[in-house]
Amino acid sequence: MLTRIVAWFAAPAQWSSSTGIPARLAEHLGYTALAVLVAAVIAVPIGAWIGHTGRGRLVVVGIANGLRSLPELGVLVLFVLLIGLGLLPVVLALMLLAIPPLLAGTYSGVAGVDPAAVDAARGMGMTERQILLEVELPNALPLIVAGLRTATLQVVATATIAAYVSLGGLGRYIVDGQAQRDFAQMAGGAILVAVLAIVLELALQALGRAVAPGRPGDRAARRVAAFLAARGSDRSSDPDRSSGPDPSSGPDVVPVPAPSGRTAP
């Protein structure tokens, strides 16, 4: 079995023809990028607006929770039947799945910015627009990227299913293999999709770390933090900042002994 899968990967046609692995991979990434991009253009501004104004919170939670129980396969085939075969129904269906995580991530990121930081920004004379762009969105970035990650992985997975409705992408190998009773092809496709998903996950995780607050060069956040420090507040948007001296902290306090017997066998 394994040798057949290896042989499937090794076939020269796999790496050159228009139905070969590079072509299928490009298709798969193309659908994914298109759907996530459209979803982000729609969801990020709406999420930011709701997070900034605090209006419509229940709508976000309702949409996010309602959509997550929709079976993707059903949504996909329904759109294809309603619109007809082609790229449009697939991208629409994928976009629909990408919106909730992006919306929720942006909303909770913006809404979760330390109110003291927003207050300070307002006190320094920033306009609402400046507050959103220079303070709230930069601080919300980690959660927006987390939403982007969830959305991307969901779309990559669902794009696999898109092969079932006659589109390309890596799912082709699974669906065609199934139809031709060619297990090597199915398994090969499955491995490719899994590897793609894992690579994207790791890449987006790295992106998430790169945009974490406290990074150098974030002028607005630094300005607000400096203002807060000057004001003597111990709350700031930066979680790494310690929250002032605590009489109970320091080497005097020993961590809770976990029942592993670390301190008391």
Query: Pick from 29, 197, 207, 211: which binds other proteins (CB under 8 A)?
Result: 197
- Rounded Cα distance between 225 and 236, Å, is 6
Question: Residue 154 corresponds to which tokens in the numbers above?
Answer: 């969901």
Nearest to 228 by CA among 135, 151, 161: 135
Identify the DSSP state of 239.
T
Nearest to 170 by CA among 151, 148, 155: 155
Q: Which is nearer to other proteins, 105 or 138 (CB)?
A: 105
Report the nearest approach of other proteins to the CB of residue 45 (Å): 18
Residues 45-74 that bind other proteins (CB under 8 A): 61, 64-65, 68-74
Query: Pick from 190, 214, 227, 233: which binds other proteins (CB under 8 A)?
Result: 190
Q: Where does this chain touch other proteins (CB under 8 A) — which range of 6-14, 34-42, 98-106, 215-223?
A: 98-106
| Residue found under tokens 């979680």 | 239
- Rounded Cα distance between 18 and 39, Å, is 29
Cα→Cα distances 230→48, 127, 155, 236, 238, Å: 29, 22, 46, 11, 15
Per CB under 8 A, 189 contacts other proteins: yes
Question: Residue 21 corresponds to which tokens in the numbers above?
Answer: 């692995």
Cα→Cα distances 207→148, 150, 156, 263, Å: 10, 13, 18, 39
The beta strand positions in 2-161, using DSSP E, are none
Per CB under 8 A, 247 contacts other proteins: yes
Per CB under 8 A, 44 contacts other proteins: no
Per CB under 8 A, 86 contacts other proteins: no
Q: Which is nearer to other proteins, 138 or 177 (CB)?
A: 177
Q: Which residues contact 97 (CB under 8 A, 6 or more apart)?
A: 35, 67, 70, 72, 75, 151, 154, 155, 158
Question: Residue 113 corresponds to which tokens in the numbers above?
Answer: 């910015």
Q: Where does this chain touch other proteins (CB under 8 A) — which range of 33-41, 127-135, 158-166, 225-233?
A: 158-166
Determine the size of the site formed for other proteins (CB under 8 A). 70
Query: Pick from 100, 142, 168, 169: which binds other proteins (CB under 8 A)?
Result: 100
Q: Where does this chain touch other proteins (CB under 8 A) — which range of 14-22, 101-109, 125-133, 235-243?
A: 101-109
Residues that bind other proteins (CB under 8 A): 1-2, 61, 64-65, 68-75, 77-78, 80-82, 97, 100-101, 104-105, 108, 147, 150, 153-154, 156-158, 160-161, 164-165, 171, 174-175, 177-178, 183, 186-187, 189-191, 193-194, 197-198, 200-201, 245, 247-260, 263-265
